[in-house]
A and B are shown apart, each in its own frame.
Chain A
Amino acid sequence: MKTLLSVRDLRVWLDTARGPLSIVDGVSFDISAGQVFGLAGESGSGKTITALALLGLLPAGARTGGSAILDGRDLMTMRTAQRRRTRGREVAMVFQDPMSSLHPMLTIERQLTEHLRYQLGMSRKEADERAVELLTEVRIPNPEAALRGHPHQFSGGMRQRIQIAIALACEPRLLVADEPTTALDVTVQAGILRLLHRLCQEKDLAVMLITHDLGVLSALADTVTVMYAGRVVESGPTAQVMGRSRHPYTRGLVDSLPHPEAADRALVPIAGEPAGPESRPAGCAFHPRCRYMEPPCATAVPPLIRIDDGREMACPVDPLVASLAR
C-alpha cells in the first residue's frame, strides 16, 4: 500500500487579542491510495481545521507548522499559485452542506465544467461531455437534463452527489470529505457511503473522511484517527479503534452511542462537555472527563505510544501503554 499523503506534527494557531490560540496541536497521520482514512472527533476537536490547513483554506490570521508531504512536495510550504493548482487537480474537498457550497443561481453545468475548462483547458464541448460522464459516475438519473438544472431543483442527497461529481472533475487523488452525510437522512446517507466506497475502490482514490459519526466511520474507513481538543488520542485500523477501542475517550464515545445489539442497556454518556480551543485543560485535555484519571494526567501531555496490535494511543493510565512506556 502506497502512502499518498504523509502529515507530520501539523499545528495550527489562530492569532487572537489574547495571543496565539492553539487549535491543532501536533497531528500526524498517513493516507494511502485506495483507502478511506477516517478522522473522528466532536465539535471543537480541530478535525475540520486540520483538513482546511491541508488545503490552504484556513481563515486569515491562522499560522501553521509541521509538514504534509504529497508526492515529495510539502502542502504546508507551497506557494499560493502552486497550491491553487494542487487544489482541485490533486486534492479536492466535499463539504457538509451542499446547499451552501453549491452556487444557488448557477446551473449545474456551469459549476461542474468550471474546473474542467480552467484547470484542464477543455473546450466547452469536451467539458460538457465529461460533465455527463461525471454525473453518470455519481448515479444522477438523466444527467443531460440535470446539467441544465439549478441546485434547488435537487434533493439533499442528489446535491451531495453533484458536489462529489464536481470534486471528482479533475480526477484528484485525494478527496477530503468533511461530514459529507451529516445533513442527510440515514437512507440517503447509506447511498452516499456506498458511492464513496465504490469510487475509492474503482479509481484508487484516497478519501479523508471527517466526521463525528462513529457509525459512518465504522462502515467506510480502513483506518481511523480520533482527535480530542486538537490532539490525536487514538489511531489505527478501524477494526481495532472502533471494534476494540482502548482510549477512555474513544471507549466513552462508543459507549454513549445507541448500540443495535444491546438495546436494553442505558446509554452511558461521557461526563461533562467537550473542551473548546479557548478552554483546553492542561496535561491530557480529556482528564477532567475521564473515569481513569490519575494525578500525572493533569500535568503532562501523554505521548502517542504504539502498542502491538497496530494502534497508537495517548493514555499513560492504560496498562499496555504504561508497560511500553517504561
Chain B
Amino acid sequence: MSLLELRDVEVVYQRRDGTLVPAVAGASLDVNAGEIVGLVGETGCGKSSLAKAAVGLVPVASGSITFEGRPVHVLGRRARPVSERRLQLVFQNPYESINPRRTVGAQVADAFAIGRTQARSSWRPRVEDLLRQVGLPATMARRFPHQLSGGQRQRIAIARALAADPAMIVLDEPLSALDASVQAQVANLLVELARNLHVGMLLISHDLAIVRHVAHRTAVMYLGVIVETAPTADLWTAPMHPYTQALIDSIPHADGAGHLPVALPGEIPDPARPPSGCRFHPRCPRVMDRCLSEVPELVAKDGGRRVACWLHEAPGGARRAADGPSVAP
C-alpha cells in the first residue's frame, strides 16, 4: 500500500451553461513515503485539479483517493479529520497563501493551535526549529511577510506545512513564482526534506526541467489523463510517449548554442470535448489510424514505466529500440 493512492480519479466541473467539464478523466497515481513524484503537463491538463482532489479541496466525481489507507474526505465546513492532518498542501504563490497581517511565527504555530498537539510553552522553540529546518534564521519568527523575499515566503509556506508533522505534502507549482537562483535553493530544500524527514511529496509543475532534478518519479499528464509515468531519469533519456518527447524537445537550453526549441503544433483542446481515441492524436507527430478511434490504456513496461500509447502496445520494453527517439524532426 502506498502512502497516497489515487485510483481512476475523475474531477468534473460544471460551466455556467451546464456543460460538464471533466478536468481529470481517470488518473491513477501512487506516492510512497520519502518519495518525490513530479506531475507535469501543460496549463489546462488537469494537474492542479488532481492535486486539489488529492488533498480534498475539490470533490471527485468517481474513483478513490486514500491517504495512509483511509479515504480522503472533501473539505467541508467542519475541521479536517485528524487522520488527514498529516496530508498537507503548499500553494504556488507565497504572496497570496500567507496572511500579510500576522507574524511569521504566529502563522507557523497555527498547526499547533489547531492540532492541540503540544503545550503552548513548547510552540516557540518548535517554530524556531521549523524555521531552521527550512533554512531561515530563528529571528524570522517575529517578522511580517512583507519584510521577506519571495524565496523566504515560500520557505515559510513549507515550514507551515511541516508544522503539522506531515507524512505527505502536495506542492502545487511551488517554484514557479521564484527567481532562478532562488528556485534552485528551494528545489534542493525539497529534496533534503523528503530524504531527512521521509516525507512523500507530490510536486505539480509545468517545468519538466526542474522536476527532473527533484523528482524520483515523473508522471506526464495530458488533457485529464496520465500518458506516461516512469523513474525520472528513464523518462527523460528515453521518453516513450510522443507527448513526453514533445515536452522535452520544447525546453530551451541555456548553453549558448542557439538551438531553437521545437514547438508542438496546436493547443490543448477543450476538456469538455476531448478528441476521440487517444486524446493527444490531433497534435501527435506519429499519429496512426487506430489512434483516432481506440483509447490506449496505461500499460506497464520494464523498469516501472507505464505508458498509454499505441506505438508501445506490446508489454515490456521490446519495441523501444526500434521506435527510439525518432519523434523530433
Within 8 Å by CB of B179, from A218, A239, A274, lies: A274
Is A186 on the interface with B (CB-CB < 8 A)? Answer: yes
Contacts of B262 in A (CB 8 A): 190
CB distance from A68 to the nearest CB of B (A): 27
State whether the Cβ of B180 lies closer than 8 Å to any Cβ in chain A: yes
Rounded to whole angstroms, the CA-CA distance of A188 and B45 in the bound complex is 14
Task: Name A185's closest neighbour in chain B (CB-CB).
Answer: B42
Instruction: Return the contact of A256 from the options B43, B180, B260 (Cβ within 8 A).
Output: B180
The residues of B that contact A277 with a CB separation of less than 8 Å are: none
List which B1-59 residues lie within 8 A (CB) of chain A. Answer: 42-43
Across the interface, do A212 and B257 meet the contact criterion of CB distance under 8 Å?
no
Instruction: Please give, as numbers and ranges, the residues of chain A lying within 8 Å of B180 by CB-CB distance.
Output: 42, 212-214, 253, 256-257
Which segment of A113-121, A258-266, A291-299 sits at the interface? A258-266
* A239 contacts across to B, CB distance below 8 A: 256-258
Shortest CB–CB separation between residue A267 and chain B, in angstroms?
4
Q: Is the interface of A mostly helix, strand, loop or mixed?
A: helix
Per-residue contact bits, chain A 233-264, to B (CB 8 Å; 1 contact, 0 not): 00000111111100000001110111110011
B267 in the interface, Cβ–Cβ < 8 Å?
yes
Binds B, one of A49-57, A83-91, A191-199: A191-199
Task: Kindly report which residue of chain B lies nearest to residue A245, judged by CB atoms.
Answer: B256
Docked-complex contact A267 and B213, CB < 8 angstroms: yes
- List 18 additional contacts besides A42-B179, A213-B180, A263-B213; criterion CB under 8 Å: A186-B206, A186-B250, A189-B261, A190-B250, A190-B261, A191-B264, A193-B263, A212-B179, A218-B253, A218-B257, A219-B258, A219-B261, A238-B256, A243-B257, A254-B254, A259-B254, A266-B188, A269-B182
With CB as the reference atom, state the residue of chain B lying closest to A268: B184
Return 14 A-B CB contacts under 8 Å, by A number. A158-B267, A187-B250, A187-B263, A188-B263, A191-B263, A197-B260, A215-B209, A239-B257, A256-B180, A260-B251, A263-B233, A267-B213, A273-B151, A273-B179
Q: Which residues of A contact B (CB under 8 A)?
A: 42-43, 155-158, 185-191, 193-194, 197, 212-220, 238-244, 252-254, 256-260, 263-264, 266-270, 273-274
Once the chains bind, are B261 and A193 in contact (CB under 8 Å)?
A: yes
Contact at B267–A258, with CB atoms within 8 Å? no
Q: What is B's interface to A at a CB cutoff of 8 Å?
A: 42-43, 149-152, 179-185, 187-188, 191, 206-210, 212-213, 233, 236, 246-247, 249-265, 267
Chain A residues lying within 8 Å of B257, measured Cβ to Cβ, are: 218, 239, 243
Whole-angstrom CA separation of A186 from B245 in the bound complex = 13
CB distance from B281 to the nearest CB of A (A): 16
The interface residues of chain A lying within 8 Å CB-to-CB of B247 are 186-187
Whole-angstrom distance between the alpha carbons of A263 and B211 in the complex?
11
Closest Cβ of chain A to B155, distance in Å, is 11
Please pick, from B181, B236, B254, the residue contacting A263 in the complex, using a CB distance under 8 A. B236
Q: Which residues of B contact A217 (CB under 8 A)?
A: 254
Distance from A158 Cβ to chain B, minimum over Cβ atoms (Å): 8
List chain B residues, Cβ under 8 A from A193: 252, 260-261, 263
Shortest distance in angstroms between B209's beta carbon and chain A's nearest beta carbon? 4
Residues on A with beta carbons closer than 8 Å to the beta carbon of B236: 263
Assembly CA distance A243 to B256 (angstroms) = 4
Let me know if B181 and A185 touch, CB within 8 A. Answer: no
Report which of A216, A243, A274 forms a contact with B252, defined as CB distance below 8 A.
A216
State whether B42 touches A187 (Cβ < 8 A): yes
Most buried by A among B212, B256, B264: B256
> In this complex, which of A185, A188, A189 has the most chain B Cβ atoms within 10 angstroms of its Cβ?
A185
* Cβ 8 A contact of B181, one of A186, A242, A244, A253: A253
Could you tell me if B267 and A188 are in contact, using CB atoms closer than 8 angstroms? yes
Closest CB-CB distance, A198 to chain B, in whole Å?
10
How distant is the Cα of A266 from the Cα of B255 in the complex, in angstroms?
Answer: 17
Q: Are A238 and B258 in contact (CB under 8 A)?
A: yes
What is the minimal beta-carbon distance from A11 to any residue of chain B, in angstroms?
24
* The residue from B42, B208, B252 contacting A219, defined by CB atoms under 8 A apart: B252
- Please report the C-alpha to C-alpha distance between residue A191 and residue B260 in the assembled complex, in whole angstroms: 9
